[in-house]
Amino acid sequence: MSRTVTYSPAFTLVPTYECFNRCTYCNFRAEPLQSPWLTLPEAEKQLKFLQTQGVIEILILSGEVHPQSQRRKAWFQRIYDLCELALALGFLPHTNVGPLSFEEMALLKEVNVSMGLMLEQLAPDLLQTVHRHAPSKVPALRLQQLEWAGKLKIPFTTGLLLGLGESEADWIETLEAIARIHSPCNHIQEVILQPYSPGNQQIWDGEVFDATKMPEVIAIARSILPDEIRLQIPPNLVAQPDILLACLEAGARDLGGIGPRDEVNPDYPHLQHQTLTEILAVSGWQLVQRLPVYPQYDKWLPQTLQNAVKHWRAILDVRC
């Protein structure tokens, strides 16, 4: 059995924190019109600095402007332009900005090597609790997004948020839905299993997800999902070394994008690379860099993106 664990050297650009959803556990959002949009000159300054910092992936992570808002078109254009800028400066963009229209997804495919959207949970009861004021968290809307990604041949990441008040049966239902949608197109490259972790900005009084349950959840996911879908856990939220190692033994093989700040969970800084490497080495695991698109999907990309990916694969071959 391979003792390799992958991660993506990443940096997050946030076009805006404003969001029309009001998930009660959120530590990211700002009220609509209360968060200035990231300008292209500001982004260019950040990206040029990152050119010497070993970063490969630029995660475009945004709050959501309502689909019917007059500002939606400008919001989407800013996201597209940030992806185009990141590509021009030598990075590989991955966008996760909430549900998009089919046309918006098709356009972003031209400037992204992969995209993502968390399912979180399919449990309908959550629409009366933590998602009561979050219209874009309707499960059918998010499932449709996964289906569209397959039709458009977009390498995709999704995942579960654990500890919102769901049951084990809800985990199974959500994982089975992912496996079912993946089956026709084989487009889902990663499933994130993210334990809910309280932060300073939330209004919900939910408790931290019991990290000792993580290996159990991973084992369930591994038994349901096809082998080609890699299971990902965030090491800043599963930071206890014994639990992190138990998660790997249970079937997790990826630690996601690791950068200076987790924008979704800002109260939980990432471990230093050297520290993480040492923790894994105790049990014979090797930490290896990867790209935000997996090799089996390279041919799905437009030619310009294929060229950019080929360049980075050559660099990683030398490094590793």
Tell me the domain boundaries of the chain. 4-11+96-319
Is pLDDT at 9 greater than 60 in this prediction? yes
The whole-number pLDDT of residue 320 equals: 42
Q: What is the pLDDT of residues 114-155, one digit of tens each?
A: 999 999 999 999 999 999 999 999 999 999 999 999 999 999
Residue whose entry in the numeric block shows the structure tokens 């049966």: 169
**What's the CATH number for 4-11+96-319?**
3.20.20.70
**Count of positions (residues) in the chain:** 320
Q: What is the pLDDT of residues 195-232, one digit of tens each?
A: 999 988 898 988 899 999 999 999 999 999 999 999 99
| Three-class DSSP category at 61 | strand
How many other β-carbons are positioned within 10 Å of the β-carbon of residue 210?
Answer: 12
Is pLDDT at 319 greater than 70 in this prediction? no
Q: How far apart are CA 174 and CA 166, in angstroms?
A: 11
Q: Is the pTM of this model over 0.75?
A: yes
DSSP string, 214-240: HHHHHHHHHHHS-TTSEEE--TTTS--
Q: How far apart are CA 132 and CA 291, in angstroms?
A: 36
